[in-house]
């Protein structure tokens, strides 16, 4: 049960929100709701309308915590802009707002209904915007590097992630194998009950997984095109299927030497140059024996990207191989059988469709058709298998992003 002070403060908040709406319709203001309500009480006290109530959920004891949290999630200048805007609204409308608050008798129900609607809008908006802000904050810690021209047919990009905050991320199958160098604490993957090695080779996966780190994370990752990693390791990519394999167990002397150079180097741009030199040296040694076969598999993969519902028979014809030869070669180079790979591509294509329709009403049937699914129910079932959410459920907790169909460099 609210006391009189809380009722006055809530009605006061409605009036301030109304004047904010008249001054600036930018709804980003609502993201700072906890600080907003604290300021309401500060202004009430300043206007001698009520003393600041200590028993209210947003009281002075919680203010420092809330301010730290808000400033942690938002750049300082953005936070200050918000505070300045609120203060301008207060200074400009102070007398009018106080007069309205003093004339509230008989209008209590009306104002509480308005406030409840405002609070529901706050809750919905904050939930959405915090996810967006946190995702953006994490993305800002990534740095992507483009491979040199000679390596672009084999390497999609390199990325560096550096953070001193605990990491709790969720990842999906992307259809591309990777080599990972952990310069700080490696990641723990609960679905496999494994902590990655400082040097880890990550193969094709057909399941979603969590990535955990306690903090002080710094990693450099080579993201290969689906068919290319085996050229550099001289090991079939199928060896790494659904596994995080310690790189040192491969007994690849040159890879181990590369890892040592990376771990001894503080400048990540220089580390990328070390990686490129190593990759180029491996191409010189291994490419001559595999070029012909790689081109056949790459032609099939490019067709899968365009038509992910294509049959294995059609793919083998494109590669000019028998079905049995094609399946064996595809499995060796890509690390997964063709049918399962096309399922990953369909999933990633659906993510890309959802990513490009961000902020618009999602038409699941349309996405299913554009992504190569037989029908909407097939789409929803397959989608949930790969990420644990139905398409509409995922939109409530995250912003869809396709690693396979997004080029960050």
Q: What is the pLDDT of residue 120?
A: 56
pLDDT tens, residue order, the chain (409 aa): 445 555 555 555 555 655 555 554 444 444 445 555 556 656 666 665 555 444 444 444 444 544 554 454 454 455 565 566 666 666 766 676 666 656 654 555 555 555 555 555 545 544 455 444 445 445 547 889 999 999 999 999 999 998 877 787 888 999 999 999 999 989 999 999 999 999 999 999 999 998 988 878 999 999 999 999 999 998 999 999 999 999 999 988 999 999 999 999 999 999 999 999 999 998 876 666 677 889 999 999 999 999 999 999 999 999 999 999 999 999 999 999 999 999 999 999 999 999 888 767 888 999 999 999 999 999 999 999 998 889 988 887 778 889 999 888 8
Q: What is the pLDDT of residue 395?
A: 83
CATH number of 142-289, picked from 3.10.450, 2.50.20, 2.60.120, 2.30.130: 2.60.120
- The residue among 236, 180, 256, 233 whose CA lies nearest residue 211 is 180
Q: Where are the alpha helices (DSSP H) in 164-290?
A: 229-233, 253-263, 268-286
CA distance 362 to 197: 40
- The residue among 404, 397, 406 whose CA lies nearest residue 170 is 397
- The residue among 196, 165, 162 whose CA lies nearest residue 269 is 162
Asked if 235 contacts 223 with a C-beta cutoff of 8 angstroms, the reply is: no
Tell me which fold the domain 293-397 belongs to.
Answer: Arc Repressor Mutant, subunit A (1.10.10)
Please tell me the pTM assigned to this model.
0.68
Q: Taking the domains of the chain in order of start, what are their residue ranges? A: 4-138, 142-289, 293-397
Q: What is the pLDDT of residue 86?
A: 61
Backbone phi and psi for residue 290, each to the nearest 5 degrees, phi listed first: -120, -10
Q: What is the pLDDT of residue 37?
A: 56
CA distance 294 to 7: 72
Asked if 178 contacts 202 with a C-beta cutoff of 8 angstroms, the reply is: yes
Q: What is the pLDDT of residue 5?
A: 52
How buried is 65 (Cβ within 10 angstroms: 0-12 exposed, 13-18 middle, 19+ buried)?
Answer: exposed
Dihedral-angle region of residue 86 (phi above 0 means left; psi in -120 to 50 means alpha; beta otherwise)? alpha
Q: What is the pLDDT of residue 360?
A: 76
CA pseudo-torsion sign 303, 305, 307, 312: positive
Q: What is the pLDDT of residue 2?
A: 46
- Tokens 């001193």 correspond to 164
For helices 338-356 and 376-387, the axis angle rounded to 10 degrees is 100
Tokens read off for 44: 């009430």
Asked if 101 contacts 49 with a C-beta cutoff of 8 angstroms, the reply is: yes
Strand locations in 128-283, DSSP E? 142-145, 155-163, 167-171, 178-182, 188-189, 194-195, 199-202, 209-213, 217-224, 244-246
Length of the chain: 409
């Amino acid at each position: 049960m609210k006391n009189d002070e809380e009722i006055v403060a809530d009605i006061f908040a409605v009036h301030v929100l109304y004047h904010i709406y008249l001054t600036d319709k930018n709804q980003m203001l609502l993201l700072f709701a906890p600080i907003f309500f604290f300021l309401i009480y500060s202004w009430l006290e300043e206007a001698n309308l009520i003393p600041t109530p200590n028993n209210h959920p947003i009281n002075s004891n919680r203010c420092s915590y809330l301010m730290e949290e808000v400033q942690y999630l938002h750049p300082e200048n953005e936070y200050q802009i918000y505070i300045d805007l609120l203060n301008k609204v207060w200074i400009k409308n102070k007398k009018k707002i106080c007069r309205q608050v003093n004339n509230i008798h008989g209008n209590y129900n009306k104002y509480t209904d308005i406030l409840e609607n405002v609070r529901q809008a706050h809750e919905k908006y904050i939930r959405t915007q915090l996810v967006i802000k946190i995702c953006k904050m994490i993305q800002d810690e990534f740095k992507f590097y483009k491979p040199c021209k000679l390596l672009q047919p084999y390497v999609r990009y390199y990325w560096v992630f550096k953070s001193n905050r605990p990491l709790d991320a969720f990842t999906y199958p992307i259809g591309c194998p990777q080599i990972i160098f952990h310069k700080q604490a490696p990641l723990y993957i609960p679905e496999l009950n494994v902590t990655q090695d400082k040097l880890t080779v990550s193969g094709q996966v057909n399941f979603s997984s969590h990535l955990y780190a306690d903090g002080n994370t710094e990693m450099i990752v080579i993201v290969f095109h689906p068919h290319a990693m085996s050229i550099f390791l001289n090991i079939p990519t199928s060896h790494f299927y659904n596994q995080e394999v310690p790189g040192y167990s491969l007994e690849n002397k040159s890879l181990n030497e590369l890892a040592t150079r990376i771990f001894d180097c503080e400048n990540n741009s220089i580390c990328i140059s070390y990686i490129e030199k190593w990759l180029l040296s491996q191409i010189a040694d291994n490419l001559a024996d595999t070029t012909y076969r790689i081109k056949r598999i790459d032609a099939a993969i490019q067709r899968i990207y365009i038509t992910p519902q294509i049959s294995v028979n059609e793919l083998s014809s494109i590669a000019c191989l028998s079905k049995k030869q094609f399946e064996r070669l595809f499995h060796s180079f890509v690390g997964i059988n063709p049918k399962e790979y096309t399922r990953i591509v369909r999933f990633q294509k659906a993510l890309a469709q959802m990513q490009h329709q961000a902020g618009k009403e999602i038409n699941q049937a349309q996405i299913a058709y554009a992504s190569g699914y037989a029908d909407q129910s097939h789409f929803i079932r397959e989608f949930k298998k790969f990420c644990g959410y139905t398409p509409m459920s995922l939109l409530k907790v995250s912003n869809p992003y396709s690693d396979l169909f997004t080029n960050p460099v």
